[in-house]
Amino acid sequence: MSDFTSNFWSVYVAGITIAGIVGCLALLWFSGLSHPSAASGGSTGHVWDGDLREMNNPLPRWWVWMFIITIVFSVVYLILYPGLGSFKGVHPGLGTTKGTGGWTEVAQFEEEVAEGNAQIAPLYARFASMSIQQLSKDADAMKVGDRLFMNNCAQCHASDAKGGPSYPNLTTGHWNWGGAPDKIVETITQGRTGVMPPQAAVIGTPDDISNVANYVLSLSGTQHNAAKAAQGKEKFEAICAACHGPDGKGNQLLGSRDLTAKSWFLGRQDEAHVTAMVNGGYMGVMPTWEGKFTPEQIRVLAAYVWGKSNGGPAS
């Protein structure tokens, strides 16, 4: 990946750009110096099919001027716009060719986003006085929420919000960080990072880990070995309960999962899966969306997500 983020490619493209302009100037210059000899009568000397003779006539004036205009346009463009990238890789003092026009792709993006937000502001104005619960029952708001979810959230949580391997199911009513409307708004706005550290060294032997894994399976009524689960309870209460609670229902202040709900598995529901998570730990990241969405959009999206587990209108 470093090959595509290093300064080399910027210098490489800039070099080709400059070489291309210089090459065009050289071609135009040398073509203007070339004149057919009087002895040849303007012919290059190439003759085929008996009487087809290739002539060495000068380029048409309009073509030459178009060529010159193209070169001048290229130079002016590179002066106004940051077409040559950064030369810091050549020498730190060279810096970045920003262009005299002050244009940047970031500024243009922000301008277009602001223009788009201004266009849709009247649509969200109607939703401003409505609560999250009211929005979840409003058909128009949920159409907007559905588009926001499909375009931005479905990649991880699936189009039906039931998640996929390693991603939470948003339709069950079980929430790591809390499922109240304000908590969902907070999650979307700020993002979340959930970390379960590897516990193999703390729990003990492979048999101890197997026992704890079976106890965890028993908490949600998933198929398990009852004898092993009984042996794993003590280790769970001594080590795992610090985050997941003695009853395994989790702690929303820490973002720890409710192990009594089958939806926590995020994949296979068997001993091997739980053992792998105990051994290797797990890290889940929900990115922040504050810079992507306006506060009004976040409220509508939160209402859509809240409605998925609280009786919102069907999609």
pLDDT tens by residue, 140-153: 999 999 999 999 99
Per-residue pLDDT band for 1 (boundaries 50, 70, 90) equals very low
- For residue 36, CA distances in Å to 23, 39, 43 come to 23, 8, 7
Q: What is the pLDDT of residues 173-190, one digit of tens each?
A: 889 999 999 999 999 999
* Tens-digit pLDDT profile for residues 58-99: 778 898 899 999 999 999 999 898 888 766 655 555 556 788
Tokens of 86: 């950064």
Structural domains in the chain, sorted by start: 2-80 (no CATH), 104-191+287-315 (1.10.760.10), 197-280 (1.10.760.10)
Q: Report the share of the chain in percent with pLDDT over 70.
A: 90
Q: Phi and psi for 106 in degrees, rounded to 5?
A: -65, -45
Q: What angle do CA 301, 125, 287 make, to 5 degrees?
A: 25
**Do the Cβ atoms of 227 and 240 come closer than 8 Å?**
no
Give the single-character DSSP code of 40.
G
Residue 100 has pLDDT above 90, yes or no: no
pLDDT of 271 over the 70 cut: yes
Residue with tokens 């939470």: 168
pLDDT for 291-311, tens place per residue? Answer: 889 999 999 999 999 999 886
Residue-wise DSSP of 219-265: HTT-S--HHHHHHHHHHIIIIIHHHH-TTS--BTTTTB--TTSGGGG
Token output for 176:
């790591």
What is the per-residue pLDDT for 41? 65
| pLDDT tens column, 109-140 | 889 988 988 998 898 999 999 999 999 999 99
CA atoms within 13 A on the CB side of 178: 13
pLDDT of residue 32: 77
99: three-class secondary structure by DSSP: coil
What's the pLDDT band for 23 if we cut at 50, 70, 90?
very high
